[in-house]
Structure 1
Amino acid sequence: MTHAIPVPLPSALIEHHAVDLEVKSSNGLGLTVKDVAATPCGEIYTLYSTSRFTYGVADDEADPAKGNFGYALVTRYAPDGTPLATAVSGQSDLVRQDTTLGGPTTGLGEELWGASGLCVLPDGTLAATGWADQTHLITADLTAVTAHYKATHSQHEDGPRDAFASWISTTPAGRLLCTAGEFGVYNYGSPLDNIVSITDQPLIPTSKPTLRALASMEAQPVKQTEADLRPDLLFNGEPVGMDHRPRPSLTEHLTELEQTAPRWAWDDARLGRPAVVREDLFVIPVYGHIYRGGSRGQRFAFVLVSDQGKIVGQLGGMHLDRDSPFTGFCFEIAADPIRERIYHLNRYGLFAWSANGIRAQRLDLEDKRYKLLKHFTLMDCAPAGELILVHRTQHLLLRIPCPAALGDLGEVVEDALRSYAKERTALKKQWQPQNWHWVDSTAPLHRL
């Protein structure tokens, strides 16, 4: 298998904006991978953003060679890692819109609240999701956006509230595990992710399914009114809102469970992206308040919840300080429903659990054999049984096979990193990247 895969920038974009990649800062050019999703047949999709910001350049600068820009991109790869196509969408509401490469009115959302999650739906359609429960459906060949589900960004903002989800993943049977926001969480006037839910019907361009709430993070969002209720987000057959949502909430459960924790330990907590462990079991990350001065040692938990909304346990074997995901803000979790395994990567280790929450492996990233993993973020576990990671600065995907036995994880990771290093060298000769920007002129470019 191919272990190293570049995240490319279309040559048309680089040429249109006259980006000088020889300059170390690339004239303010940045690239961030938001999410990765894979299909059962082995194809991979990567959602990422690129932007240029140069101090002193006016927001209304008309010359594309000088003006700032921001784009959302999705690249589709063949199972062997070959880029098949890239879609690009304008993604900036802060600078002059250059619609040559797509605009936000038809694309993947504005810069401040653009898409950050990606999921391959059972019919092959892509769902790009983001803050405020915006959901955009994209054809599998990346040629068109077929539907937008959006909501207002403020509790007091007028406008349609036709939202769906801020994060979606699929179960083996094709159901959708989702997170959705609520107004009033911690007295915020904008939505914060607070509800984990599941669907029984498909999400298609012409209709969205009902979301059945399984768990809530915070029990009592304040100052909600009937105007904040969503008819498609239900708990026990009634819309979620005000004093009606799953109880105990995750923070209530964790507070009661950890009797020795300070009473404020879970104040201003946040909900991470859930993962599907098996058809009837999910793992939900919850983490405490992030402080400016550092949050290492703060409370965090990966809670196991059934498809009936019952809290059945949590992942064990992690130390609040020595294994803290707050260093680098590494809260991502990935699960392999085929083998019923759960994985987490942070700056201190690569962890693996069985479905009952018992830790089976911890690969220490201070070990020189695994130290390279410190530069990667865990993105997904492909249906074919591969962990997909992304290098944060070199813009490369790394695929690691999931071992048949968790006891073999160390050996498998060591082999994958060794192969990755060799493949990266070969890719550099083939692609000739400049400052780790991989420019592609071969894959078709679609403007959304």
Structure 2
Amino acid sequence: MIQTLPLALPRTLVDTHRIDLTAPYSKGWGIRAYDTAAAPNGDVYALYGVHRYTYGVADGEENPEIANFRYRIITRYSADGDVLASAVCCPSYGDKNDSAVVNGNDMTLCVLPDRTLAVSVRPDSTTLITPDLSRVLAAYDSKDKRPFEKFTPGDAFASSISATPSGRLLCVTTEYGVWNYGSLLANVVGLADGILNPASKPVIEAIASLDPAPTRYSDDDLRSHIQYQGSPVGGAHRPRPALTELLAGEDRHSGWRDSRLGRPLPLADDLFVVPVYARTFRGGSRGQPFVFALINDQGTMTGRLNGMHEWRDSPFTGFCFNLAADPCRGRAFHLNRYGLYAWNKAGELRAKLDTETKTFKPLTHFTLTACSPAGDLLLVHNKQHLILRVPAPDVLTDLGPAVEQALRTYAKQRTALKKQWSPVNWHWTHTSVVHHL
């Protein structure tokens, strides 16, 4: 079923901070979508943020009507598209400790096999939240290591999680000194076969790494739950050859130095797509190499998602680095400024919807965020703050007509939502239940 869902702000939050919804973002405020996830029962979760920064206002300003603020918001929608509840968390000004959800960069969502919602951030912190968003069950906080500061190791888990059909957890973890940087960066892809809950966390078995030789390692950087062949990953002890070693000849300029690891996704219980992107440049990065590698659960690179050209299909234009996967059907999808791409489990490109055509040009305004367990694509409109749920066809070569129909329906449903919600400059508000986590 095609659906259009609003990324709505809780009305209480808007009223508390006197947010001027008519103001342009150049005035120092804005809304940004981060991720979506769908549960087997049809529920959809959206993660997005709202912030305001006014130059000259002190960070300690207590008056909420003029104070700077930044929050993360998680909203839950029913299978019918109704807003059920929102959770507000992670304030970045004022009392920064007034949240049970661990804050950080690159925040992602995952619905675990028991329907618990996992919220993960770099570096390797994961918060478990009840499906109804009412409370935090547990927080695995890694305690970020910063240069020139005393480091006290925390209780880490992963920077991102994706679940396979059988419940295995595909994870990304960070390491210190990747490409000689003095911070924790994503570097290891691992697989956890145990159960993640408030009482225990499973061991993550490393199956791939990006930088084969991170520097500045010490015993404090070893984590007992991230292992390779029975002992913690660290130093030279890691899966080899690393991804950048396997792909060494494909980056002629830098040899993948300063490359980065995208979020890996499962194509099956034992097969995963792992994106690798070369470094980005301030003056433009179109044409830089990238690889969507296929890695099995033994850490062997078995192939790649084929059919994209480094220049004509570059994800670096607009930094469109997301992929979505449907592991139940062995499909992978990618959307960037040049088209929507779909592959089968063997890595064969089965469809490309060219955004230079009039029919699919509207896709340039969307970001692909996830696939639902039913195979639906979840796309977020970057300016209108709406989620478009697109049912994927049984045959990938029929993707074009399915998306064309979804875009027509989106226009109709958007009009109906405007009459129902009365948004201000495409900013939606709701009065449903709000939990403060």
Taking structure 2 as the reference length, what is the TM-score of the superposition? 0.97
Kept in 1, the 8 Å contact 2:2–2:391? The answer is: no
Q: Does 1:392 align with 2:382?
A: yes
Rate the CA distance shift 1:237–1:361 in 2: closer, same or farther, 3 A.
same
Q: What is the CA deviation profile of residues 281-324 of structure 1, one whole-angstrom value per residue up to 9, with x for unaligned ones? A: 00001000011111001010000000111110111111101100
Mapping of 1:16-55 within 5 angstroms?
16-25=16-25, 28-55=28-55
* Shift, 1:154, TM fit: 2.1
Tell me which residue corresponds to 1:233. Answer: 226
What is the rounded CA distance, in whole Å, between the counterparts of 2:253 and 2:425 in structure 1?
Answer: 48
Tell me which residue corresponds to 2:199. Answer: 206
Tell me which residue corresponds to 1:447. Answer: 436
Q: What is the CA deviation profile of residues 39-60 of structure 1, one whole-angstrom value per residue up to 9, with x for unaligned ones? A: 0111001111111111222212
Q: Does 1:197 align with 2:186?
A: no
Matched residue of 1:13: which SS? helix
For the aligned residue pairs, the C-alpha RMSD in angstroms reads 1.4
What is the rounded CA distance, in whole Å, between the counterparts of 2:419 and 2:28 in structure 1?
Answer: 25
Tell me which residue corresponds to 2:342. Answer: 352
Q: Does 1:245 align with 2:238?
A: yes
* Shift, 1:149, TM fit: 1.0
What is the rounded CA distance, in whole Å, between the counterparts of 1:87 and 1:132 in structure 2?
Answer: 22
What is the rounded CA distance, in whole Å, between the counterparts of 2:102 and 2:91 in structure 1?
Answer: 6
Identity among equivalent positions (%) equals 51
- The amino acid across from 2:74 in the alignment is V
Rate the CA distance shift 1:24–1:187 in 2: closer, same or farther, 3 A.
closer
Q: Does 1:130 align with 2:128?
A: no
- The amino acid across from 2:313 in the alignment is D
* Shift, 1:226, TM fit: 2.2
* Shift, 1:162, TM fit: 1.4
- The amino acid across from 2:181 in the alignment is Y
Kept in 2, the 8 Å contact 1:91–1:114? The answer is: no
Aligned with residue 286 of structure 2, among 283, 286, 296: 296
What is the rounded CA distance, in whole Å, between the counterparts of 1:255 and 1:59 in structure 2?
Answer: 46
Q: What is the CA deviation profile of residues 195-231 of structure 1, one whole-angstrom value per residue up to 9, with x for unaligned ones? A: 0001110100121110000100111111212221111
Q: Does 1:76 align with 2:65?
A: no
Matched residue of 1:373: which SS? helix
Matched residue of 2:390: which SS? strand
Matched residue of 1:422: which SS? helix
| Unaligned segments of structure 2, at least 5 residues | none
Matched residue of 2:247: which SS? helix
What is the rounded CA distance, in whole Å, between the counterparts of 1:184 and 1:70 in structure 2?
Answer: 29
Kept in 1, the 8 Å contact 2:62–2:94? The answer is: yes
Rate the CA distance shift 1:325–1:25 in 2: closer, same or farther, 3 A.
closer
Kept in 1, the 8 Å contact 2:126–2:140? The answer is: yes
What is the rounded CA distance, in whole Å, between the counterparts of 1:27 and 1:296 in structure 2?
Answer: 30
Mapping of 1:247-326 within 5 angstroms?
247-256=240-249, 258=250, 261-262=251-252, 264-326=254-316
Q: Does 1:184 align with 2:177?
A: yes
Mapping of 1:365-380 within 5 angstroms?
365-380=355-370
Q: Does 1:173 align with 2:173?
A: no
Kept in 1, the 8 Å contact 2:190–2:208? The answer is: yes
Matched residue of 1:319: which SS? coil
What is the rounded CA distance, in whole Å, between the counterparts of 2:146 and 2:202 in structure 1?
Answer: 23
Q: Does 1:108 align with 2:101?
A: yes
Kept in 2, the 8 Å contact 1:272–1:286? The answer is: yes
Q: What is the CA deviation profile of residues 117-148 of structure 1, one whole-angstrom value per residue up to 9, with x for unaligned ones? A: 00001111111001111111111111111111
| Unaligned segments of structure 1, at least 5 residues | 98-102
Rate the CA distance shift 1:214–1:227 in 2: closer, same or farther, 3 A.
same
Tell me which residue corresponds to 1:139. Answer: 130
* Shift, 1:105, TM fit: 4.0
Kept in 1, the 8 Å contact 2:35–2:108? The answer is: yes
Kept in 1, the 8 Å contact 2:153–2:220? The answer is: no
Tell me which residue corresponds to 1:61. Answer: 61
- The amino acid across from 1:444 in the alignment is V
What is the rounded CA distance, in whole Å, between the counterparts of 1:294 and 1:107 in structure 2?
Answer: 39
Q: What is the CA deviation profile of residues 156-188 of structure 1, one whole-angstrom value per residue up to 9, with x for unaligned ones? A: 642133111000000000010000001111112
* Shift, 1:378, TM fit: 0.6
Kept in 1, the 8 Å contact 2:126–2:141? The answer is: yes
Kept in 1, the 8 Å contact 2:77–2:84? The answer is: yes
- The amino acid across from 1:7 in the alignment is L
Mapping of 1:326-345 within 5 angstroms?
326-345=316-335
What is the rounded CA distance, in whole Å, between the counterparts of 2:106 and 2:242 in structure 1?
Answer: 27
What is the rounded CA distance, in whole Å, between the counterparts of 1:340 and 1:41 in structure 2?
Answer: 20
- The amino acid across from 2:143 in the alignment is T
Kept in 2, the 8 Å contact 1:37–1:45? The answer is: yes
Kept in 2, the 8 Å contact 1:336–1:383? The answer is: yes
* Shift, 1:152, TM fit: 3.0
Kept in 1, the 8 Å contact 2:91–2:98? The answer is: no
Tell me which residue corresponds to 1:153. Answer: 144
Residues paired across the two proteins, number: 435
Matched residue of 1:4: which SS? strand
Tell me which residue corresponds to 2:13. Answer: 13
Rate the CA distance shift 1:292–1:27 in 2: closer, same or farther, 3 A.
closer
